[in-house]
Amino acid sequence: GEDVEQSLFLSVREGDSSVINCTYTDSSSTYLYWYKQEPGAGLQLLTYIFSNMDMKQDQRLTVLLNKKDKHLSLRIADTQTGDSAIYFCAENVAAGNKLTFGGGTRVLVKP
Amino acid sequence: DVKVTQSSRYLVKRTGEKVFLECVQDMDHENMFWYRQDPGLGLRLIYFSYDVKMKEKGDIPEGYSVSREKKERFSLILESASTNQTSMYLCASSAQGLGQFFGPGTRLTVL
């Protein structure tokens, strides 16, 4: 079955690194995604990783994928107040790009 | 850049009214999706469509219908709005393997 889980909340100081974790259950996932949602807005696609990769880096963002443990993480370096948002991980397991989303992690960046 | 637009940011309707939520994308994507987002429940898929005139039920289709007469437009219809349909509605579109791109959302209140 499909199930994606994330912790609910993360608090971090400005300038520190944030690490948001996600676990998923379907080993047939082809792509895994990270989305960001700011208050009152839709979801913004931040980055994604193909399932045959271990790591992907994109500026301040680093995605790590451990397929054996079905664990995905998003690291944000030098976290800024503008990074305060809800972050969702999602997996793509079916044709047509249907996604299963985690419940979201609310990240609060303190000055 | 992909652009997904939704007809309204905020909408207030009365119980029993028929409600239309419109979504338009400009990237010729095959796939389109309607979600609702509620506190503590995350994103839940209502309906999706892989092609014009095609529709598939998501996880919570009850009380909703959809229409896809043109590739760029996907409409969500509440035949008779009820208070438990008060929610944030998010539309998304995708092509194969690129992740879903979301609109800004419509916050619907049913009185």
* Chain B hits for A102, Cβ within 8 Å: 42
Interface check B101 vs A, CB under 8 A: yes
Contact B30 A30 (CB under 8 A): no
pLDDT for res A71: 94
* Chain A hits for B45, Cβ within 8 Å: 98
Q: Choose, out of B33, B60, B101, B102, the residue to mutate when testing the contact with A (most A CBs < 10 Å).
A: B102
Burial class for A70, CB neighbours closer than 10 Å (0-12, 13-18, 19+): middle
pLDDT digit string, tens, across residues A33-72: 999 999 988 999 999 998 889 999 999 999 999 999 999 9
pLDDT digit string, tens, across residues B30-46: 999 999 999 888 899 99
pLDDT digit string, tens, across residues B57-100: 999 999 999 999 999 999 999 999 999 999 999 999 998 767 89
The rounded mean pLDDT for chain B is 94
Query: H/E/C letters for each residue in A50-81?
Result: ECCCCEEEECCEEEEEECCCCEEEEEECCCCH
Which helix H or strand E contains B69, and what residues bound it?
strand B65-70
B83 backbone dihedrals φ, ψ, rounded to 5°: -60, -30
Contact B4 A31 (CB under 8 A): no
Total beta-carbon pairs less than 8 A apart between chain A and chain B: 56
pLDDT at B18 over 90: yes
Average pLDDT over residues A17-31: 88
Q: Name the CA radius of gyration of chain B, rounded.
A: 13
Structure letter (DSSP) for residue A98:
-
B86 backbone dihedrals φ, ψ, rounded to 5°: -65, 120
Contact A42 B105 (CB under 8 A): yes
A55 backbone dihedrals φ, ψ, rounded to 5°: -150, 145
Interface check B87 vs A, CB under 8 A: no
Can you tell me the distance from the alpha carbon of B10 to that of B20, in angstroms, rounded to the nearest whole number? 13
Interface check B22 vs A, CB under 8 A: no
Burial class for B64, CB neighbours closer than 10 Å (0-12, 13-18, 19+): buried
pLDDT at B10 over 90: yes
* Chain A hits for B90, Cβ within 8 Å: 42-43
Average pLDDT over residues B50-54: 92
